[in-house]
Each structure stands twice: as structure tokens, then as C-alpha cells.
Amino acid sequence: MEITGNSAFYAGLGAIQAGQNRFDQAASQVANLSAERAATSQSSDYQAERLRSVDRSQQMDLPTATVEQALAAQQIELGAKVAKASDEMLGRLIDTWA
């Protein structure tokens, strides 16, 4: 029996990694929003507008970032379940063939 890199185990690991990346991006957005609010309260209106206009296409609001973090946590959890189920199934197959 040959075990290839296309197994469900690697799909589960890929889902975990994608979820971690998604969570990191959302957390970064939350940090940027917090920094922007702090800078707005400490700077002039002109400086605050410059900060807001840096890259609005990739910014999200706080509720959206929070939902993204929750979705990312679920994606990580489900990826772990897929990897675990695949690992258990592989163990059963090896026990059956041995």
C-alpha cells in the first residue's frame, strides 16, 4: 500500500494553515483599526485622513474582522478533525493489512 501526499491528512493540514493565515489577517485588521483610532485621537484631521486612505480596499470594519476570526477558528478546528480522522483511518488500514 502506498501513501501519497494527496491524502485527506494533508488536506486537513492545509485547512489548518489556511485558517491560521485567515485568523492572522483578521487580527492584523483589528490591530490596524485600534492603531488608527488611537492616531486619530492624537493627530490633526489631515494626518488622520492620510492614515485612513492608505489602503482602504483591504481594510474591514471591526465586526467583520471579528466574524473572520471566528470563521478562521472554525476552519482550524475542522482541519484538525479531518487530519485526526485521516490519521485514525490510516491506522485502521495498517492494522487490517498487517
Task: List the chain pLDDT tens, one digit each, 98 residues.
Answer: 455 655 888 999 999 999 999 999 999 988 887 776 665 555 566 665 666 665 555 567 888 999 999 999 999 999 999 999 988 887 766 767 65
Evaluate whether residue 66 is within a structural domain. Answer: yes
Closest CA to 75 of 63, 67, 64, 86: 67
SS3 51: helix
Q: Quick count: other Cβ atoms within 10 Å of Cβ 33?
A: 15
Distance (Å, rounded) from C-alpha 43 to C-alpha 39? 6
Evaluate whether residue 46 is within a structural domain. Answer: yes
How many structural domains does the chain have? 1
Evaluate whether residue 2 is within a structural domain. Answer: no
